[in-house]
Amino acid sequence: MKCTVLTVGTEILFGSIVNTNSVFISQQLQELGIDVMYHMSVGDNPVRLKEMLAHAYLDCDMVITTGGLGPTQDDLTKEMICEYFGERNIEFPEEMRKVEAFFEKSGRKMTENNRKQAFFPEHAETLANPNGTAPGFWLNKNGKIIISMPGPPSEMRPMMVNEVRPRLLAMQDAALYSRNIMTYDIGESALETELLEFIDGQTDPTLATYAGTFQCKLRITSKRKTLKEAQAAVDDMTSRVCAKIPDNIYSIDGEELPAVVLRMLKEKGLTLSACESCTGGMFAAAVTDVPGASEVFDRSLVTYTERAKMEELGVSPKTLEEFSAVSARTAEEMAEGLHRASGSDVCVSVTGYAGPTGGTEEDPVGTFYVGLYHDGRCTAQRFTTRRPTRMRVREYAVLQMFLRIYKALK
Amino acid sequence: MKCTVLTVGTEILFGSIVNTNSVFISQQLQELGIDVMYHMSVGDNPVRLKEMLAHAYLDCDMVITTGGLGPTQDDLTKEMICEYFGERNIEFPEEMRKVEAFFEKSGRKMTENNRKQAFFPEHAETLANPNGTAPGFWLNKNGKIIISMPGPPSEMRPMMVNEVRPRLLAMQDAALYSRNIMTYDIGESALETELLEFIDGQTDPTLATYAGTFQCKLRITSKRKTLKEAQAAVDDMTSRVCAKIPDNIYSIDGEELPAVVLRMLKEKGLTLSACESCTGGMFAAAVTDVPGASEVFDRSLVTYTERAKMEELGVSPKTLEEFSAVSARTAEEMAEGLHRASGSDVCVSVTGYAGPTGGTEEDPVGTFYVGLYHDGRCTAQRFTTRRPTRMRVREYAVLQMFLRIYKALK
């Protein structure tokens, strides 16, 4: 099956919003084994919208649209689809009751134009929208499929996952299962080389790599007759991937590194504190982004000045003078001092040159030291950042702080 | 002038990358007064690429492409443009020397396929690419313009700004001037109501609003014969906008709030420290994201547990018991304790319920208190967050921490 994703909305053409709908839908279709041939975006203009529809079907048998289903005069997607397919746009009484009930419940007055949202192409099947007033719809006519969803991602995404995806699977008489494998200490190209046998020429399960800033995610997907078969195929490939790169995987079910580290700490009954210099609070922010962090996370100190490092952490003036604030010794003393102050079982520290200025010949911008107190011992490790912009250095340092803890606990 | 933005690359159709190129180009064209009619994306497929070109010119006289200019066999944009326009694809000797020089300088061996990057449609003008090996080009033929740029945003963006934009302005015999006005304490719809006279029916200068999560940006743009005229027109409208909403603007030159606050502190010779609970380090991370923050920022404490609040900040157990950790009194004691510990002139604190669980009947999830020590006095203020997801609460709290300092210093 070949598909065009057609997003409707003048705000897209103005560059006012980033078109994440096309990305989300394409990822879903990719998993389902449906080829996406084109992305097209058009404004709220009836003539051009109809033109685009005609063009979209030249090479494709399916078009998925988002946007233009709302109650205002600008919202014309449904009307143009009716014209293109020669369908009447008629009232669906059950949908009308739902729209009326929505307004009754919310206490707002239902204006006349809201009735528009209960009209659909006569042969369409509606797609439920529990997150808004405009339902989507699915129309199958003359060998062509059109699927129409609302524009707001908070409405479109659940509709794609809960309404569209099961129907597409049913059409293919298939079940789908996916798994995200989270890797570390390996780049995308090295990963592709290591896993070539699983990528090249594989049709099911498929393995895709997604490169983040400093981490890569692998996604293994299988489409089979039954969910059980798909799951078995994914599990089998997962084992083989794990055997191939055993020291580069921290999660086989998509769990992010901060959540993995906090879970490990919790399981071992350990508490965590941090002191940060160049990352300036980003590590703590990442920790506390995980719900329930308070069960293991005690405190974090951002000791940006030398004075704060001495006062809060007891880093010795001699160390700062002799080795400088960015040194293995300072990182160690920070972690040690933090352990003394907090009593936390695991204490992590970081000090480095985030740039744009600063750094020395031996330790240029992008260099940082991560100190770790764990099991009564304190050690520091040196890292350098490739292409060290301020944001990249800080992000990389946060990653290495989590990784040092992860490796120590593993 | 009417334009289609055509982005080329199979990774777009896979949903592997977000198409920010279309957004960036559209914003630039919008400022230049050039209407964007369509966004189209197509994979690295010669037949469909040529089909799309034909369709793009149905309603437009200009097409801007990105992607497919590299050295590999997949990169076919140039070849298809030549076919579409009936141009020969010929070597540009000067460009060949540049490609050769690039490889010589980088010490890498230049492979045969890299020569491809010095071939262009015979009547094209090249667009310099100081950030990569593939130059762009501009072709004007049969009343149609095509502008072709490389796909990586780090190469495309400077080319759009430095090479394409001046040529488009020259075509229109015009100069362009813009200004970003940063607002606070006012939502997008209130802003549009207040500034309706500047938005409705205005052709030059134009005023556009861009809504962020909790803040709005205004962009005033003028296109005139000379830069001086454009600047005068923008300055005039800026004054009138400032007079209309004098208490809602913190910057008229696009400076972000953290940078504004740090600059004010520096000008007044004041130091800053922070203690955070629910924001968990995000405030400190935002402060230290500003280069040179170390001149005014001393330290930040993330006191996530009650014990840390007592030990690090001297919050009294009685206060925690009587008023709870999320209360005006606790926020005040946090800021006071931080001043005692750090000696910083300005101390800001926050404590609140970020969710997803927690909260009380009077202070549900989304409620937070910001404490501020300044000028020898300590006060706390209560805030609530609309639609309080964990991320929104934390972001809103960071904003209000900066705003409390901003308002105190103003």
Cα separation, B287 vs A354, whole angstroms: 14
Number of C-beta neighbours around residue A186 at 10 A: 17
Cα separation, A212 vs B18, whole angstroms: 12
- Residues B25-74 have pLDDT tens digits of 999 998 888 999 999 999 988 999 999 999 999 889 999 999 999 887 77
Q: Give yes or no for a contact between B166 and B172, defined as CB atoms under 8 angstroms apart.
A: no
Report the mean per-residue pLDDT for chain A. Answer: 92
Alpha-carbon distance B91 to nearest alpha carbon in chain A (angstroms): 31
Supply B54's token pair: 């034909």
**Residue B28's closest CA among B167, B138, B151, B187?**
B167
Contacts of A294 in chain B (CB under 8 A): 304-305
- Residues A16-25 have pLDDT tens digits of 889 999 999 9
Nearest residue of A to residue B293, measured between CA atoms: A304
Closest residue to A19, CB basis, from B22, B52, B311: B22
- Residues B185-227 have pLDDT tens digits of 988 778 888 898 888 777 889 888 777 778 888 989 898 989 8
Q: Are strands B249-251 and B216-224 parallel, antiparallel or unpaired?
A: unpaired
Contacts of A301 in chain B (CB under 8 A): 299-302, 312
Q: Do B19 and A36 touch (CB under 8 A)?
A: no
DSSP string covering A92-143, please?
-HHHHHHHHHHHHHHTPPPPGGGGGGGEEETT-EEE--TTSS--EEEEEETT
Alpha-carbon distance A299 to nearest alpha carbon in chain B (angstroms): 5
pLDDT over 90 (residue B397): yes
CB pairs under 8 A between A and B: 220
Which pLDDT score is estimated for A310? Answer: 86
Q: Nearest 5°: phi and psi at A89? A: -95, 100
Which pLDDT score is estimated for A110? Answer: 82
pLDDT over 80 (residue A283): yes
Alpha-carbon distance A212 to nearest alpha carbon in chain B (angstroms): 10
pLDDT over 90 (residue A28): yes
Alpha-carbon distance A394 to nearest alpha carbon in chain B (angstroms): 9
Q: Is the peptide bond before A205 cis (omega within 30 degrees of 0)?
A: yes
Contacts of A9 in chain B (CB under 8 A): none
Cα separation, A169 vs A221, whole angstroms: 14
Which pLDDT score is estimated for B133? Answer: 82
Enumerate domains of chain A plus CATH numbers: 2-171 (3.40.980.10), 175-251 (3.30.70.2860), 257-409 (3.90.950.20)
Q: Do B299 and A301 touch (CB under 8 A)?
A: yes
DSSP string covering A327-346, please?
SHHHHHHHHHHHHHHH--SE
Number of C-beta neighbours around residue B405 at 10 A: 26
**Residue A198's closest CA among A225, A220, A179, A178?**
A220
**Residue A28's closest CA among A126, A173, A156?**
A156
Cα separation, B193 vs B155, whole angstroms: 39
Selected residue with higher pLDDT from B52 and A188: B52
Alpha-carbon distance B92 to nearest alpha carbon in chain A (angstroms): 32
Nearest residue of B to residue A27, measured between CA atoms: B15
**Minimum mean pLDDT among A307-321, A388-402, B20-34, B48-62: which range?**
A307-321
Amino acid A38 reads: Y
Q: Which residue has the tokens 């409390």?
A: B404
CA distances, A308 to each of A304, B104, B299, B336 (Å): 7, 48, 6, 17
Cα separation, B76 vs B70, whole angstroms: 8
Closest residue to A23, CB basis, from B18, B26, B291: B18
Q: Do A51 and B39 touch (CB under 8 A)?
A: no
Contacts of B314 in chain A (CB under 8 A): none
Cα separation, B410 vs B394, whole angstroms: 24
Q: Do A41 and B23 touch (CB under 8 A)?
A: no
Q: Do A302 and B288 touch (CB under 8 A)?
A: yes
User: Which residues, at least 6 apart from A362, have a Cβ–Cβ distance to it below 8 Å?
Assistant: none
Closest residue to A299, CB basis, from B278, B301, B357: B301
Supply B398's token pair: 């960071």
Which pLDDT score is estimated for A214? Answer: 86
The share of chain A scoring above pLDDT 70, in percent, equals: 100
Nearest residue of B to residue A51, measured between CA atoms: B55
**Minimum mean pLDDT among A5-9, B73-77, B297-301: which range?**
B73-77
Once rounded to an integer, what is the mean pLDDT over residues A310-333?
91
pLDDT over 90 (residue A238): yes
Q: Give yes or no for a contact between B337 and B319, defined as CB atoms under 8 angstroms apart.
A: no
The pTM of the full predicted model, rounded to 2 decimals, is 0.80
pLDDT over 80 (residue A364): yes
Once rounded to an integer, what is the mean pLDDT over residues A181-207?
86
Which pLDDT score is estimated for A132? Answer: 82
User: Rounded to a whole number, what is the largest CA-CA distance in chain B?
Assistant: 84
Which pLDDT score is estimated for A48? Answer: 92
CA distances, B316 to each of B114, B319, B326, B336 (Å): 69, 5, 13, 12
pLDDT over 90 (residue B107): no
Contacts of B297 in chain A (CB under 8 A): 304-305
Interface pTM (ipTM) of the complex? 0.77
Closest residue to A302, CB basis, from B20, B300, B390: B300
Tell me the three state secondary structure of residue B223.
Answer: strand
The share of chain A scoring above pLDDT 90, in percent, equals: 66
Supply B354's token pair: 């970020």
Amino acid A222 reads: S
Tell me the three state secondary structure of residue A42.
Answer: strand
Q: Do B299 and A300 touch (CB under 8 A)?
A: no
CA distances, A305 to each of A32, A299, A388, B213 (Å): 53, 18, 22, 32
Which pLDDT score is estimated for B210? Answer: 77
Nearest residue of B to residue A219, measured between CA atoms: B16
pLDDT over 90 (residue A345): yes
Q: In the β-sheet with A2-8, what is the strand arrangement from edge to edge?
A: A125-127, A136-141, A144-149, A62-66, A2-8, A35-42, B35-42, B2-8, B62-66, B144-149, B136-141, B125-127
Q: Do B300 and A305 touch (CB under 8 A)?
A: no
User: Which residues, at least 6 apart from A193, have a Cβ–Cβ distance to it below 8 Å?
Assistant: none
Q: How far is CA B337 from the centre of its chain?
A: 36
Amino acid A288 reads: T
pLDDT over 90 (residue B163): yes
Q: Give yes or no for a contact between A295 and A410, defined as CB atoms under 8 angstroms apart.
A: no
Selected residue with higher pLDDT from A262 and B17: A262
Which pLDDT score is estimated for A334? Answer: 95
Closest residue to B390, CB basis, from A22, A37, A291: A291
User: Rounded to a whole number, what is the largest CA-CA distance in chain A?
Assistant: 84
Once rounded to an integer, what is the mean pLDDT over residues B152-173?
93
DSSP state of B179: E
Cα atoms found within 13 Å of the Cα of residue B195, Cβ hemisphere only: 31
User: Which residues, at least 6 apart from B402, have a Cβ–Cβ distance to it below 8 Å?
Assistant: B257, B258, B261, B283, B286
Q: Do B15 and A38 touch (CB under 8 A)?
A: no
Amino acid B40 reads: M
Closest residue to A302, CB basis, from B51, B289, B299: B299
Once rounded to an integer, what is the mean pLDDT over residues A336-362?
93
Q: Do B281 and A300 touch (CB under 8 A)?
A: yes
Sign of the torsion formed by the C-alpha atoms of A382, A388, A392 and A393: positive
State the burial class of residue B341 (Cβ atoms within 10 Å of its Cβ: 0-12, 13-18, 19+): buried
Which pLDDT score is estimated for A358? Answer: 86
The counts of H helices and E strands in chain A are: 16, 17
Q: Give yes or no for a contact between B276 and B331, defined as CB atoms under 8 angstroms apart.
A: no
Closest residue to B48, CB basis, from A19, A52, A59: A59
Once rounded to an integer, what is the mean pLDDT over residues A261-281?
95
Supply A334's token pair: 């920070």
Contacts of A284 in chain B (CB under 8 A): 276, 280-281, 284, 302
Q: Do B41 and A22 touch (CB under 8 A)?
A: yes
Supply B22's token pair: 């279309």
Cα atoms found within 13 Å of the Cα of residue A345, Cβ hemisphere only: 14
Selected residue with higher pLDDT from B291 and A6: A6
Which pLDDT score is estimated for B358? Answer: 86
Alpha-carbon distance B290 to nearest alpha carbon in chain A (angstroms): 9
Measured in residues, chain B has a length of 410
Nearest residue of A to residue B41, measured between CA atoms: A39
The residues with which A41 forms a beta bridge, in sequence order, are A7, B39
Closest residue to A281, CB basis, from B36, B40, B284: B284
**Residue A404's closest CA among A375, A377, A378, A371?**
A371
Report the mean per-residue pLDDT for chain B. Answer: 92
**Per-residue confidence at B173, pLDDT binned at 50, 70, 90?**
confident
Which pLDDT score is estimated for B154? Answer: 86
Selected residue with higher pLDDT from B388 and A369: A369
Closest residue to A283, CB basis, from B17, B281, B391: B281
Cα separation, A236 vs A230, whole angstroms: 10
